[in-house]
Structure 1
């Protein structure tokens, strides 16, 4: 696991439910479980601070790290997409985004492209992106964050006159390739589920093993946030592999979540000047029974 990506998983899965701030020593101990060295942890933290994703508080000789507003938005968007139930029906609207950046803002343009890809937009022509999902709020937050009101326009439309919906989908996304990746996930984690279930039945699962397995499960599943646009189900192909993969993800997650969170709590050290109201129930069961 790459240290920065693993750190995002730890903040999204655990730390955000315990005040959102953690002692660097706790991070080092937790990431050591995945073979990440102390120097790699500190290097990843340094880069995330530079990118305005993390901020630090010093108390005595200890450093405590929490997410910046930009970091929180990244985490919240990711957690919502991982754990929110998708709607069966589409509202019939395409969200169409266009942008134009001068050459001196080339780096900012590349950042916006990554943000749009992360959010689930597909590119259908040069500087034109579309999505069938109601992402207006996220896009307006992105515009405000980067102060790019003069460079981006967001529209919604009930139809695209020159192309039908299937053509737009095929142009903006490769659903077959995404489905194939879900099949790989299913092939990898189906035997893992059987193994963990057998151990659980025989009371052979330790807390630290469950922490490692849950974190790895989420870490692997998160990669689909960069691939799967999260369409409403009535826009997806029949027998969509993502549905089966999600059910498998849920089954494993719930099987091992209680001991995984218990292990995290044994390693977590909050700042001494803060009274933490831990949301343990959310850390154990973050699945959201709402529709997007």
Structure 2
């Protein structure tokens, strides 16, 4: 079974499949720690990840990796060892909330945002970081150093450039496509990997339809809701960062993204409450 990033987002209830523990930890912190200041004890992390099928050594290894990346910071609260989200991680999670829980598809009449940049050798280490962040925002490339996205991501692009200290090396343009609109779907396939997103949406539906059917019926325990909800949000979080939010006219004819979005909203609404109860019980025990 492949991970969400390689085209398969599926899992059975009670297991994380091959979702890396670090992805599950980011989901846990994003969903359940920010209201309490962003902190979670190591003991709670280990117990909750055990519910998701990850052993203690894998959890500790994943936490160490997230610490090295500046996402988690060690912190002791009332004598308990734990980790809190860094300021940068808190900022990125807040930005991600809109994309995950309130995604919006652009329309053709809103136009496009072009980012043209040339990063000098003196800060070349940030060049890859910028490309990665633009890709996460849904940018495609029309030519080397020329990136395009729906105009709705302007504020996020400005924020990325500012945080990386690269604003002076980039020019931003609002643009209209002046050639035939009939050419745009073919251009979109060149600039973005829409077929991959379509495949991932289909995989998401296959993975989570069984869960939707179960919870539409008898459902399950709070612990089972926690497992299904964490898998759901982890898969969806990775998927929406690959979907540029292109206008519907530019997407494949058999586009499954709308159905995937509806399934996510339905399951998230059903599972969020009982999943949170389970996490709160574990954290208070």
What TM-score comes out, normalization by structure 2 length? 0.83
How far did 1:226 drift?
Answer: 3.5
Deviations 1:201-245 (A, max 9, x none): xxxx11111100110111122221242112344554555310011
In the alignment, structure 1 segments of 5+ residues that lack a partner are 271-292
Alignment of 1:211-290 (within 5 A): 211-233=226-248, 235-238=250-253, 240-268=255-283
Aligned CA distance change for structure 1 residues 232 and 125 (closer, same or farther; 3 Å): same
Structure 2, gaps ≥5 residues long: 1-18
CA-based RMSD: 2.5
Query: What SS does the aligned partner of 1:150 have?
Result: helix
Aligned-residue offset at 1:263: 0.2
CA offset digits 1:133-176 (Å, max 9, x no partner): 42222122212211112322222113356985334422211323
Whole-angstrom distance in 1 between the partners of 2:84 and 2:75: 8
The one-character-per-residue Cα deviations of 1:17-42 (angstroms, maximum 9, x if unpaired) are: 33322222211211121222323322
Is 1:50 equivalent to 2:65 in the alignment? no
Mapping 1:96-245, distance limit 5 Å: 96-103=114-121, 105-159=123-177, 164-200=183-219, 205-233=220-248, 235-238=250-253, 240-245=255-260
What's 2:58 paired with? 40
Q: How far apart are the structure 2 equivalents of 1:159 and 1:231?
A: 14
Which secondary structure state, in structure 1, belongs to the residue aligned with residue 217 of structure 2?
helix
Distance 1:43 1:22, change over 3 A: same
* TM-score, with length taken from structure 1: 0.81
State yes or no: 1:14 paired with 2:32: yes
> Contact 1:133/1:232 (CA < 8 Å) preserved in 2?
no
